[in-house]
Amino acid sequence: NAGVTQTPKFQVLKTGQSMTLQCAQDMNHEYMSWYRQDPGMGLRLIHYSVGAGITDQGEVPNGYNVSRSTTEDFPLRLLSAAPSQTSVYFCASSYSTSGLGEQFFGPGTRLTVL
Amino acid sequence: RKEVEQDPGPFNVPEGATVAFNCTYSNSASQSFFWYRQDCRKEPKLLMSVYSSGNEDGRFTAQLNRASQYISLLIRDSKLSDSATYLCVVNMYSGGGADGLTFGKGTHLIIQP
């Protein structure tokens, strides 16, 4: 099993550009989520999904969109990048449909917005 | 306002020593507690869940004190490989899903030879 994979590993964007961060898992987990991690702050939940076709907002959803067309994939789209979105983004999945079980994280995407 | 507070450290500890650190949480109705480990520039990984009766996994012991609203992590016979950041994670909403998971900012541990 590859677990949770994320692409790209690194990305530099200019203000106003859009892009999609990819996330995939091969563990057949229903629950998937996106977090961002900033220096001096804990991980903050952006969006999450409890299954294909179902998504919901987390603590910091503004400026991000998600979709969940399959169990395996959960892409995160930045609509119009801003410097405040410079961060490390982690995708996670969980076997628990409530999301309270062990969270399996991907390796992260380091995003810089100029 | 939901809060999970940790001493950021760093804790500098000689190899072989015992080290402990705590994490306080603000919501008395919280039901689920975890310790995650995060190595530098890597993703967090579950170290252990924290149960009401306390639990042990090898050199690691986790405890929950509901009255004082904190959880603790004790590492015995520390190894160089224990150097990492330890994240406290709490479900801040009673009965809630992972939309209620709150991560602490982490405690940085450095084991010195």
Q: State the average pLDDT over residues A61-82.
A: 97
Contact A18, A88 (CB under 8 A): no
pLDDT digits (tens, 9 = 90+) for B55-92: 999 999 999 999 999 999 999 999 999 999 999 999 87
What contacts A62, CB < 8 A, 6 or more positions away? none
What contacts B96, CB < 8 A, 6 or more positions away? none
Q: Nearest 5 degrees, angle CA A88-CA A90-CA A93?
A: 175
Interface test with B, best of A100, A102, A104, A109 (most B CBs within 10 A): A100
Q: State the average pLDDT over residues B43-60.
A: 94
Chain B positions in Cβ-Cβ contact with residue A95 (cut-off 8 Å): none
Place of tokens 């760093």: B10
Measure the CA–CA gap between B63 and B13, rounded to whole angstroms: 21
Chain B positions in Cβ-Cβ contact with residue A33 (cut-off 8 Å): 98
A41 close to B (CB below 8 A): yes
Name the pLDDT band for B1 (thresholds 50, 70, 90): low
Maximum CA extent, chain B? 44
For position A106, what pLDDT does the model report? Answer: 98
For position A77, what pLDDT does the model report? Answer: 98
Interface test with B, best of A87, A93, A95, A103 (most B CBs within 10 A): A103
User: What is the percent of chain B with per-residue pLDDT over 90, rounded to a whole number?
Assistant: 78
For position B95, what pLDDT does the model report? Answer: 55
Of the listed ranges A74-83, B45-54, B86-95, the least confidently predicted one is: B86-95
Chain A positions in Cβ-Cβ contact with residue B97 (cut-off 8 Å): 31, 48, 50, 98-100
Nearest chain B alpha carbon to A106: B43
pLDDT digits (tens, 9 = 90+) for B6-28: 999 999 999 999 999 999 999 88
Report the amino acid identity of residue A106. Answer: G
Measure the CA–CA gap between A23 and A4, rounded to whole angstroms: 7
Provide the token pair at A6: 């994320």
Judged on CB neighbours under 10 Å (0-12, 13-18, 19+), A101 is middle
